[in-house]
Amino acid sequence: MGVDVAVTNLTKQFGKQLIWKGVSLTLPAGEISVMLGPSGTGKSVFLKALIGLIKPDEGSIVIEGTDIASCSEKELYEVRKLFGVLFQDGAMFGSMDLYDNVAFPLREHTKKSESEIRQIVMDKMELVGLAGAENKLPGEISGGMRKRAGLARALVLDPEILLIDEPDSGLDPVRTAYINQLFIDLNAQIDATFLIVTHDINSTRTVPDNIGLLYHKHLAMFGPREMLLSSTEPVVAQFLNAQRVGPIGMSEEKDADELAAEANLEMPPLPPIPPQLEPSDGRPRRGQRPPGEWLQQNGITPPPGSFESNMSLAPGANG
Ligand X SMILES: Nc1ncnc2c1ncn2[C@@H]1O[C@H](COP(=O)(O)OP(=O)(O)OP(=O)(O)O)[C@@H](O)[C@H]1O
Residue 215 three-state SS: strand
- CB of 40: closest distance to Mg ion in angstroms? 8
CA dihedral sign of residues 10, 16, 17, 18: positive
Interaction mask 69-108, Mg ion, x per CB under 5 A:
-------------------x--------------------
What's the rounded Cα separation, in Å, for the pair 26 and 10? 12
Radius of gyration of the chain (CA): 20
Q: Write phi, then psi, for 9 (nearest 5 degrees).
A: 50, 45
Taking a C-beta distance cutoff of 8 angstroms, is the pair 33, 211 a contact? yes
Nearest to 294 by CA among 226, 237, 222: 226
Count of residues touching Mg ion (by CB under 5 A)? 3
Side-chain-side CA neighbours of 173 within 13 Å: the count stands at 5
**23 interacts with, out of Mg ion, ligand X, none, CB within 5 to 8 A per kind:** none
Taking a C-beta distance cutoff of 8 angstroms, is the pair 99, 121 a contact? yes
Among 5, 7, 10, 19, contact with ligand X (rule: CB under 6 A): 19
**45 interacts with, out of ligand X, Mg ion, none, CB within 5 to 8 A per kind:** ligand X
- CB of 39: closest distance to ligand X in angstroms? 3
Stretch that binds ligand X, among 41-49, 69-77, 91-99, 156-164 (CB under 6 A): 41-49
Cα–Cα distances (Å) from 214 to 40, 57, 199, 240, in that order, read 10, 18, 12, 12
Residues belonging to the chain: 319
Nearer of residues 59 and 302 to ligand X, judged by Cβ = 59
- CB of 89: closest distance to Mg ion in angstroms? 9
- CB of 79: closest distance to Mg ion in angstroms? 22
**42 interacts with, out of ligand X, Mg ion, none, CB within 5 to 8 A per kind:** ligand X
Cα–Cα distances (Å) from 295 to 34, 121, 221, 234, 254, in that order, read 19, 42, 16, 19, 31
Taking a C-beta distance cutoff of 8 angstroms, is the pair 279, 243 a contact? no
Q: Tell me the β-bridge partners of 60.
A: 8
Stretch that binds ligand X, among 39-47, 204-212, 269-277, 285-293 (CB under 6 A): 39-47
- Residues 39-58 touching Mg ion, rule: CB under 5 A, are 43-44
- Residues 155-194 touching ligand X, rule: CB under 6 A, are none
Interaction mask 44-83, ligand X, x per CB under 6 A:
xx--------------------------------------
What's the rounded Cα separation, in Å, for the pair 39 and 223? 21
Nearer of residues 35 and 177 to ligand X, judged by Cβ = 35
Nearest to 33 by CA among 256, 227, 230, 318: 227
**275 interacts with, out of ligand X, Mg ion, none, CB within 5 to 8 A per kind:** none
Count of residues touching ligand X (by CB under 6 A)? 11
- CB of 165: closest distance to Mg ion in angstroms? 6
> Which residues contact Mg ion by CB under 5 A?
43-44, 88
> Which residues contact ligand X by CB under 6 A?
14, 19, 37, 39-45, 88
